[in-house]
A and B are shown apart, each in its own frame.
Chain A
Amino acid sequence: MKLNRLSRYLPFHFRRRKAPRKEVPFPAKERGIVKKRHQCPFCHRHIEGGELERNLFVCPDCSHHFQLTPWERIRFLIDPGSFQETEKGIASLNPIDFPGYDDKIRRMMNITGLDEAVITGIGSINGKKTALAVMSFQFMGGSMGSVVGEKIARIMLTGVGRNLPVIIFTASGGARMQEGIFSLMQMAKTSHAAARLEEAGIPLFIVLTDPTMGGVTASFAMLGDVTLAEPGALIGFAGPRVIEGTIKQKLPESFQRSEFLLKKGFIDLIVERKELRPTLSYLIETHSRGGIR
């Protein structure tokens, strides 16, 4: 302490330099969100971290589905050891020179241990190979900028090139405003990639998770051949607060939830987390047997 205060008067190379403060990342092992104790935001029950993890981050009482990090999702879904990440080397730029954007990206990388808001790769579900993209809401709200758009488009084109079904788990607040018009164009880019999948006759399965909003809903998230959703996920185009601002009324809690979308006919099925693996496996199976042609 004393030395530190005095050191101000010493020549530079004698001063003790402060170690830069590191932001604490998630436990490197899991890159997950396992805490000692969790509280369910719906039934307010306290749940042990281990118990919650064994239950795939679903509340044992009210079956509220907690948000997952992409690596946990991959661990729960993909056959152990079969996942190979692709397109790792793509990094964001600051295309419209938005102030503070570079720092924000760097901070997000430190906190989450991810490169960007989506992980893409190839893995197997029950031995059936598939191309996979998993979005992360933890990384800047899962927002879609140039890198996310490119990675999603590329994994779809990988599906075309290698004749693999494509599964995308969405979790996003929408377009990444800090990239301005470029983020808007990612909607067109990913939708075009979906069109290429359709031309090639490759199935696209979308799993909507909490939350999926804005530019992601208005592009590839609604273009699946089969669209699944986790229970209670918030899914929509305009955010509830924006709508409340336009109509000057409070919206009901059930508005824009998975169950609402199912009722209105915009998703095929609501699937509980523990049923996702068998359901996707069944879908891949039924889509890989050729039809009558």
Chain B
Amino acid sequence: MIKKKKRELQAKLKELMTLADRDRIDISEEISKLREKISGGEDPLARTWATVQLARHSDRPTTLDLINRVADCFLELHGDRAFSDDPALVGGIGMLDGIPVTFLGHQKGRNLKENIKRNYGMAHPEGYRKALRLARQAEKFGRPIITFIDTPGAYPGIASEERGIGEAIARNLKVFSTLTTPIICVIVGEGGSGGALGIGVGDQVFILENAVYSVISPEGCASILLKDAGKARDAAHLLKLTAPDLFRFGVIDGIIPEPAGGAQNDLLATAAAIKERLRKELSVLRRIPISQLLKSRGKRLQNFGEFRETARAPEERTANKFLARLRETVISRFPS
């Protein structure tokens, strides 16, 4: 019964979308309403999957769309100075409220042609090395860094491995964690695994309402853990990759609301919401002395993780220490 109704609704949605495409009329509100109806408040599995699909929506604002609306002006810079320029990860200098800021972000395309150029937002090592170069440059000139994360993951290919994608991401994690300038990260679409984290270490991390952030794609998790690549919906639900979940876990510092139905419906409103948040956070972060900022960034990183620690009895600890010291002195006195 419910399934039948859902199928009917989906058919209607499809019809509306083709109509909208053909006649170029704006009925996005109706579409989003229908979508909500389909995903329905009751079924959490469907709701999570709807979020994943919104995060991957082909009309979702891309990083350059957002940068150009968030910043007062923007100049893109290219190249990693070692191998080449990666169009899947863009960066440059912009102005935000009269403050020079370095922007970094994964860039997806809007259509097939663009996506081939941008490699669907999947960066190669040179992309991460460009990000590193621009981040160091920002540090040198005391510019805050703002990153926009939107990638399915780092590119899994031969060239990528040959040029050390693992090393490139690792170096970024290490350097970003001690960079002497404020860093704000915003997950604007898909936050896919190490590829996302490669520019995702910062003082404050925000996420758009319908963006997702996960250690592995739902499809990957389904095929590895559930042994069935078709179970991506279940995997998405199990991975707890939506904004409210991440906020509950303390991985994310805040959720930036999207216009009704998703960011694809209103680029300007989305950009305005992001800008508002960035402006507020920047004014706070810029006032914190850099040593204190680094300390709290390090603390934030060290606190990630959930585990149980069985407290050792204090006398055991002291006894162990005493024994260890005894052993050391004995060994140092009698080396043989």
CB of B194 within 8 A of CB of A218, answer yes
Nearest chain B residue, comparing its CB with the CB of A151? B307
| Interface Cβ pair total, 8 Å cutoff | 185
User: Which of A185, A189, A222, A247 is B167 in contact with, Cβ under 8 Å?
Assistant: A222
A266 contacts chain B at the CB level, 8 A cutoff: yes
Do residues A242 and B221 form an inter-chain contact, with CB atoms below 8 A? no
Q: Indicate whether A69 reaches chain B with its CB closer than 8 angstroms.
A: no
Closest-CB distance, B149 to chain A (whole angstroms): 12
Chain B residues 280 to 311 lying within 8 A of chain A, measured CB to CB, are 298, 301-302, 304-311
Interface residues of B, CB < 8 Å — how many? 56
A175 to B158 CA separation, bound complex (whole angstroms): 21
A196 contacts chain B at the CB level, 8 A cutoff = yes
Bound Cα distance from A214 to B173, whole angstroms: 14
- Cα–Cα, bound, A237→B177 (Å): 21
| CB of B216 within 8 Å of the partner chain | yes
Given contacts A223-B171, A237-B166, contact A191 B177 (CB under 8 A): yes
B140 close to chain A: CB less than 8 A: no
Residue B230 interfacial (CB < 8 Å): no
Q: Give every chain A residue within 8 A of B160 (Cβ-Cβ).
A: 237-238
Size range of the chain A interface in the assembly: 35 or more
Q: Which residue of A has the minimal Cβ distance to B246?
A: A181
Contact A266-B164, Cβ < 8 Å, known A180-B215, A255-B158: yes
- Which residues of chain A are near B170, meaning CB under 8 Å? 187, 191, 217-223
CB of B307 within 8 A of CB of A93, answer yes
Contact A188-B177, Cβ < 8 Å, known A147-B307, A149-B305, A181-B246: yes
Q: Is B32 an interface residue (CB 8 A)?
A: no
Q: Are A177 and B225 in contact (CB under 8 A)?
A: yes
Binds B, one of A5-13, A14-22, A95-103, A284-292: A95-103
Assuming the A-B contacts A91-B310, A181-B241, A237-B156, are A217 and B305 also in contact, with contact meaning beta carbons closer than 8 angstroms in the complex? no
| Distance in angstroms between the alpha carbons of A181 and B214 in the assembled complex | 5
Residue A150, interface by CB 8 Å: yes
Establish whether residues B158 and A177, one from each chain, have CB atoms under 8 Å apart when the complex forms.
no
Q: Which of B180-213 contact A (CB under 8 A)?
A: 193-194, 197-198, 200-201, 213
A264 at the interface (CB under 8 A from B): yes
Q: List 27 A-B contacts (CB under 8 A).
A: A90-B307, A95-B249, A98-B238, A146-B306, A150-B307, A175-B215, A175-B216, A177-B224, A181-B241, A181-B246, A181-B249, A185-B251, A187-B169, A189-B304, A192-B177, A199-B178, A214-B194, A219-B170, A222-B170, A222-B171, A238-B160, A243-B156, A243-B157, A243-B158, A246-B156, A247-B157, A247-B158
Which of B's residues lie within 8 Å of A, judged by CB? 154, 156-158, 160-167, 169-171, 173-175, 177-178, 193-194, 197-198, 200-201, 213-216, 220-221, 224-225, 238-241, 245-246, 249, 251, 298, 301-302, 304-312, 324, 335
